Amino acid sequence: MDRSHFLHPRAGALRGGLRGATVIDALDTLYIMELEDEFQEAKSWVENSFNVNVNGEASLFEVNIRYVGGLLSAYYLTGHEIFRTKAIELGEKLLPAFNTPTGIPRGVINLGSGMSWSWGWASAGSSILAEFGSLHLEFVHLTELSGNPLFAEKVKTIRQVLNRIEKPHGLYPNFLSPATGSWVQHHVSIGGLGDSFYEYLIKSWLASDKTDTEAKKMYDDALEAIETHLVKKSAGGLTYIAEWRGGILDHKMGHLACFSGGMIALGAEGAAGPKKQHYVELAAEITRTCRESYARSDTKLGPEAFRFDSGSEATATRLSERYYILRPEVVESYMYMWRVTHDPKYRQWGWEVVLALEKYCRVGAGFSGIRDVYTTTPTHDNMQQSFFLAETLKYLYLLFSEDHLLSLEDWVFNTEAHPLPVNHTNFRVQASTAH
């Protein structure tokens, strides 16, 4: 039986009864690719069927980056009022999660009742750095578009808590108590649990037209600590970013951490003197390592995590880490490296990914993740993650587009690849005159 007809569109974590994550995540991709009929169909669904008055457990982080980010981006690209209205309505539903002693939000919220709590798996009721640290871009825009100062105030409070607290060796652990405002355990990762916090620091500076100097200083200091303590070079000459567990290094890099090449390249323009070239080179080395994780697999797609221990380099050594779920981080870095350096190898590497996706992930109803990148007859997981349309395909498209399409001078991408305009003086006009 052909199971490809049973492909499930998937938005990952809890959505709290919200429907249409794939539709909203794909809105800006459809628009940018000039798929006008599909875009109109998606817009019509948002107008007629997207209901934010739902009751259920939702991830604050996922709803923010996928739904709020997707709606904001669709509004800024098209000027259609429905997207602004829905983004603000949904943003208001998230505000009760911030009602904690410190103002650090809890990770899970019931969109109907406003009750919030921490993830059951998170240490001692803690909140996750990547989650509460990846709200800033969207919430500043929500204040801008609604006139309600609460959104921006909430994320400024988070920033204040993080500035006040002591950082071990300048590093930011992944778990923070929303009750006490202190770190819960000393696990540091540029991959899952930590990743987009760092991304939002440099992007907040860029999005503010380089006026948010507090974000820039936090980014610079964090990157310096990461380079001092976590960046390593393997025996085979591959640069990678290890994880840190209470002072002990774990020599693995997750696929999620592969966004960091792009981030460091993007941030390099703000570095002084010789540091600028140094960061472009570091970004290129990390991106090359992530490409090796693809090149060393049988499918030419990368595993969920790869290790640098027991003689292996840039390969998954555990069965549980051999899968690929259509993740975007490696092609994201290719896109940024291309825009910054225009070295043709990044387009060549991107095309290798396109061919591998076509060969191993395309199924009758779309694209599916695979369970093992080290076999040329992989089993499909029958899920098409919403970020595949929002991020993977968008970054690949931009990699082969002219630089003026969503120019990095004028747009900053949220961590779900939804473009938000840089706060140039004329950006309000841009939204109001868009068609």
Binding site for Ca(2+): residue ranges? 415
Please indicate whether residue 36 is annotated as part of the active site. no
Strand 108-110 and strand 57-59: the pairing is antiparallel
Please indicate whether residue 2 is annotated as part of the active site. no
DSSP type of residue 50: -
Which one from 199, 212, 243, 329 is the annotated catalytic residue?
A: 329
What is the identity of the amino acid at 296? Answer: R
Which one from 62, 243, 292, 416 is the annotated catalytic residue?
A: 62
Determine whether 430 is exposed, middle or buried from the number of CB atoms within 10 Å of its CB (0-12, 13-18, 19+): middle
User: Distance of CA 79 to CAs 29, 83, 310, 358, 408, Å?
Assistant: 16, 8, 54, 34, 20
Instruction: Say how far apart CA 313 and CA 335 lie, in whole Å.
Output: 24
Nearest to 333 by CA among 420, 239, 210: 239
**Residue 105 β-bridge partners:** none
SS3 362: strand
Contact 394, 29 (CB under 8 A): yes
Please indicate whether residue 62 is annotated as part of the active site. yes
Question: Which residues are annotated as part of the binding site?
Answer: 415
Determine whether 427 is exposed, middle or buried from the number of CB atoms within 10 Å of its CB (0-12, 13-18, 19+): middle
DSSP type of residue 315: B
Q: What are phi and psi of 284, to 5 degrees?
A: -65, -40
Token representation of residue 147: 């006139």
Q: ∠ CA(77), CA(329), CA(170), 5° rounding? A: 105
User: Distance of CA 195 to CAs 60, 146, 172, 190, 366, Å?
Assistant: 16, 29, 11, 5, 28
Angle between helices 213-229 and 150-164 (to 10 degrees): 40
Please indicate whether residue 144 is annotated as part of the active site. no
Instruction: Say how far apart CA 424 and CA 210 lie, in whole Å.
Output: 10
Question: Which residues have C-beta within 8 Å of that of residue 104, sequence separation ≥ 6?
Answer: 98, 127, 132, 158, 161, 176, 177, 178, 181
Nearest to 42 by CA among 420, 390, 277: 390
Which one from 131, 138, 144, 195 is the annotated catalytic residue?
A: 195
SS3 425: coil
Catalytic residues: 62, 195, 304, 329
